[in-house]
Amino acid sequence: MPDTEENASYLSRGKEFVLAAVGGVIVANAYYIHPIISDVADDFSVNAATIGLVPALNQIALAVGIFLLLPLGDRYSNRRLSILFSAGQTVSLGIMVFATSFAGFLTGSTILGFFTIAPYLLPTYASKRVSPDRLGSVTATLTAGTIFGILIARTGAGVVAQYLDWHLVYVIAGCLMAGTTLLLPFVMEGRREPPASARRTGYLRLVGSLFPLLRQYPQVFISGIIQALNFGIFLSVWLGLALHLTGPEMGYGVDVVGYLAAFAIVAIFATPKLGAWADRVGAEKARFRLALVQMLGVVMLLPLGNNLWLLMIPILIMNTVGPGIDVAGRMTSLALGADIRTRLMTGYIVLMFIGAGFASWAGTASYEWAGWTGNAALAIAMSAGLVALSWREAHNAAKRSKK
């Protein structure tokens, strides 16, 4: 067994799946806005570019929260931190539920993003409780859990908003988070503390150590940039798609956006298999091949964008391989030293969400300025950058393996 932050016991398959479900519930909070973004904009009387601030600031706040809070996972019990951050999310959802103005709703969503830390503690927690040959498989299972949470969030939010009221979406989310916060103490082990060396490290020194670590392991830094582009494509396309499908040209309801989002179910079954495949062929090589397949789907968005049925083709491709790119990227940091994994994952995820925040705004703004054509062109440009960087890292990994 690998060294662990708490010399923890073997992680059972049962707890692995429970942790995946917990991560799904928590991550889902950022995605309820996707299918209902036009309803929320209409309710608060704001335009597409302005409503884009909600997901954008949520993602940027998440990047800030991860930078400031996630490194604490190398110093304090992951169990204790996960419970605390989940409680913060529950309170933030309460602010959103009772908000009477756009500013109040935006504030609650931004605070919610700041406390969305627990799902990014869980892969590190799990990686220290499994053998190295199961790393890709377990990481993929946790990723599949978040995908399922995103799927339920986007599909369910669209249906609830269409037939009831979009405010009820966040009432349900608050109840789910309260239940999750109460469940965590029984799911996560917390009998032992992190290593004494980690506890002796001061907070500022702990956070500041992230920068030299990223210089020492540049492959993790580049992986974060690649995932920023990958996640940015996902967010910008779906936010633009929600505006496009519910706009006057297409004329569908928000429930249709939710139904289309249900295509993400393919990733729940594909991602664990892609993770196991990445274990065999290597993270960098797997990521480059998946990036090429994803670009094929992204390029199809532009010519197929005005036909709902044909849009299902690129969406299916992107939903299948996009999470696999993330799994391969996470493997570049989770395979390194146990005492630095949380901080390396911090760098990876901070970069990912900084990119995602800007892409969220850019996705809605590009739609405001140039419609679906502008949104699709943005995705194609980001995909080209992703492929180029993935090729570079695959080439570098091949050179490192020959030394």
Number of H helices, E strands in the chain: 18, 0
Residues 209/72, Cβ–Cβ less than 8 Å? no
Residues 174/51, Cβ–Cβ less than 8 Å? no
Q: What is the pLDDT of residue 12?
A: 67
Three-state DSSP class for 101? coil
CATH code of the domain made up of 13-402: 1.20.1250.20
Domain ranges of the chain: 13-402
Q: What is the pLDDT of residue 5?
A: 41
pTM for this prediction: 0.71
Q: Tokens 């249900």 belong to which residue?
A: 262
Q: What is the pLDDT along the chain (403 residues), one digit of tens a residue?
A: 334 444 344 666 777 788 888 888 998 898 888 888 888 888 888 887 788 888 889 888 988 888 888 777 767 777 788 888 999 999 999 999 898 899 999 999 999 999 988 887 777 777 667 666 666 667 777 877 887 888 788 788 878 888 888 889 999 999 999 998 998 888 777 654 455 454 556 777 777 777 888 888 888 888 889 999 998 998 889 888 888 888 777 777 767 776 776 666 776 677 777 877 887 888 788 899 999 999 999 999 999 988 888 988 898 898 888 888 888 887 776 566 666 666 777 788 888 888 888 888 888 888 888 889 999 999 999 999 999 999 988 888 777 666 6
Q: What is the pLDDT of residue 100?
A: 87
Amino acid letter at 323? P
Q: What is the pLDDT of residue 8?
A: 41
Q: What is the pLDDT of residue 9?
A: 47
DSSP string, 339-356: TTHHHHHHHHHHHHHHHH
Q: What is the pLDDT of residue 87?
A: 92
